[in-house]
Structure 1
């Protein structure tokens, strides 16, 4: 009966030893080192320069506001004001140096992500007005009839 307890114990101890041995070889020595260790997330001091070399792909609405203040303020007062500009217009990487890279996604699937009617609403997402994408102008882009910068709530209510 003694072996029934010892065998699983030895297996567990063996697994712990294997995990610690693998960790010693796989995890860099400077991982998590800092004034407060792991407190601020996964960090490796030796790759800080690598991260500095990566160009920022997405900016904030504040970046867009530098040149497009009127549009940003206008949409900020609308129901779509919480959505970052780059959600529809794409990443601002290299903009305004190369404006053609900033394209607008006019596909239905972009709008349907939030505006498809939920069959089983169970979250705050259910508070967003939804449509049946199969029945509501299924072949057309949403922006042909709806201006995303000025969404009209009364218009959305009619399509429920």
Structure 2
């Protein structure tokens, strides 16, 4: 008479049991939070050495500052001061051994990632000064008029014979 209640209950209990059995079969024994708690999240204790052998892909602005102090000083107190160098130049993993590993991207698409005019100001991203790339000098690169490391400063003009 009450099979309409018991049958779904047994099905739900069966699904829970199947999930628990699959967890025991599929999840390695060394997976968990271990002695450091949730500080580093869930991981496998058995592959910590493997992760230590992976080289770091991204560096910090401090890493860039060691060789590019002039650019660091330009950007530090500018509106772009909170942006990490690698946001625009890519990961510094093989730099300086391979100087070509970092790109100097002068395309409008790079600037428009942050400076596309958004119609709302509810977020910090909406408060960034934006442009419409279709109407704001679409024929030239942004760096022709704007110095990316400090947009408040005019770009350095190159000599014609250089």
Tell me whether the two structures share a fold, i.e. TM-score over 0.5.
Answer: yes
Q: 1:93 and 2:128 equivalent?
A: no
Corresponding residue number in structure 1 for 2:8: 8
Corresponding residue number in structure 2 for 1:18: 18
Worse overlay, 120-129 or 22-31: 120-129
Return closer, same or farther for 1:86/1:28 CA change in 2, 3 Å cut-off: same
Q: CA RMSD in A?
A: 1.7
What is the CA distance between 1:121 and its match in structure 2? 3.5
Q: How does 1:10-159 map to 2 (within 5 A)?
A: 10-38=10-38, 40-152=40-152
Q: Which sections of structure 2, spanning at least 5 residues, go unmatched?
A: 154-162
What is the CA distance between 1:36 and its match in structure 2? 4.9
Q: Which whole-Å CA distance do the structure 2 matches of 1:26 and 1:139 have between them?
A: 56
**Deviation string for 1:84-139 (max 9, x for gaps)?**
00111121111111112111122222111111111233312111111111111223
Q: Which whole-Å CA distance do the structure 1 matches of 2:112 and 2:39 have between them?
A: 39
Q: Which whole-Å CA distance do the structure 1 matches of 2:148 and 2:107 have between them?
A: 12
What is the CA distance between 1:69 and its match in structure 2? 2.0
The question of whether the paired residues in 2 share the 8 Å contact of 1:65 and 1:72 is answered with yes
What is the CA distance between 1:33 and its match in structure 2? 4.5
Q: After the TM superposition, which segments of 4 or more aligned residues of structure 1 sit over 6 Å from their partners?
A: none
**Deviation string for 1:23-61 (max 9, x for gaps)?**
112211111151255453111111111111211111000
Q: Which sections of structure 1, spanning at least 5 residues, go unmatched?
A: 154-160
Return closer, same or farther for 1:2/1:37 CA change in 2, 3 Å cut-off: farther
Q: What is the TM-score of this pair, normalised by structure 2?
A: 0.86
Residues matched between the structures, number: 153
Q: Which whole-Å CA distance do the structure 2 matches of 1:118 and 1:33 have between them?
A: 42
The question of whether the paired residues in 2 share the 8 Å contact of 1:90 and 1:104 is answered with no
Worse overlay, 32-41 or 98-107: 32-41
